[in-house]
């Protein structure tokens, strides 16, 4: 299972930049990260964890707005790359953190483009709000399941 959690959570970062960070921060705060985690100590801070959760909630709400920027614009990609690196290294074994950082960034970028294209096609058929809600459910559900499984290892 060495890097699977890192890769999966980085893929989630491609869909939403803050949800994976909030999930990892919550796990760090509650002591549910794997013992050999690479999470920055700041993530375990209750205020940081609450802040990440608030930002993730804002991102989920803001995504449904017609004025929301595409995830593949430069600021969105920078956020996804940073999140991919942070969550990738946080969930990786100590001896694989360098690889996890590179794979986390790469996976987040690839997932951002893939899910952007899927979302644009879905919007044409189902509209922005309903596709956003489905994507939110996938994102939150995936992040929850990944963290639950990572806590077991």
Give the model's pLDDT for residue 29.
94
Please state, in angstroms and as integers, the Cα–Cα distance from residue 140 to each residue in 56, 65, 99, 124, following that order: 10, 19, 25, 23
Question: For the whole model, what pTM was predicted?
Answer: 0.93
Burial profile 69-79: b = 16 or more Cβ within 10 angstroms, e = fewer: eebeeeebbeb
pLDDT tens, residue by residue, 50-103:
999 999 999 999 988 889 899 999 999 999 999 999 999 999 988 999 999 999
Supply the pLDDT for residue 1: 56
Extended strands (E) in 20-118 = none
Question: What is the model's pLDDT at position 33?
Answer: 87
Residues contacting residue 127 through CB under 8 Å, at least 6 positions apart: none
20 vs 40, higher pLDDT: 20
pLDDT band at 4 (very low <50, low <70, confident <90, very high): very high
63: tokens are 């995504």
pLDDT given for residue 145 in this prediction: 97
**Contact 85/98 with Cβ under 8 angstroms?**
no
Distance CA 113, CA 71 (A): 8
- Render pLDDT for 118-134 as a digit per residue (tens, 0 to 9): 999 999 999 999 999 99
Share of the chain above pLDDT 70, in %: 99
Helix axes 128-152, 19-29, angle to 10 degrees: 30
3-class state of residue 127 by DSSP: coil
């Amino acid at each position: 299972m060495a890097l699977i959690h890192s890769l999966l959570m980085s893929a989630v970062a491609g869909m939403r930049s803050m949800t994976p960070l909030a999930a990892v921060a919550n796990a760090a705060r509650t002591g549910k990260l794997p013992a050999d985690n690479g999470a920055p100590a700041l993530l375990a801070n209750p205020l940081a964890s609450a802040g990440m959760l608030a930002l993730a909630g804002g991102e989920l709400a803001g995504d449904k707005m017609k004025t929301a920027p595409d995830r593949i614009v430069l600021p969105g990609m920078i956020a996804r790359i940073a999140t991919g690196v942070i969550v990738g290294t946080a969930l990786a074994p100590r001896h694989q953190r360098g690889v996890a950082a590179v794979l986390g960034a790469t996976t987040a970028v690839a997932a951002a483009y893939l899910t952007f294209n899927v979302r644009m096609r879905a919007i044409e058929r189902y509209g922005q709000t309903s596709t956003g809600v489905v994507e939110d459910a996938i994102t939150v559900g995936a992040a929850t399941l990944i963290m639950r499984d990572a806590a077991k290892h």
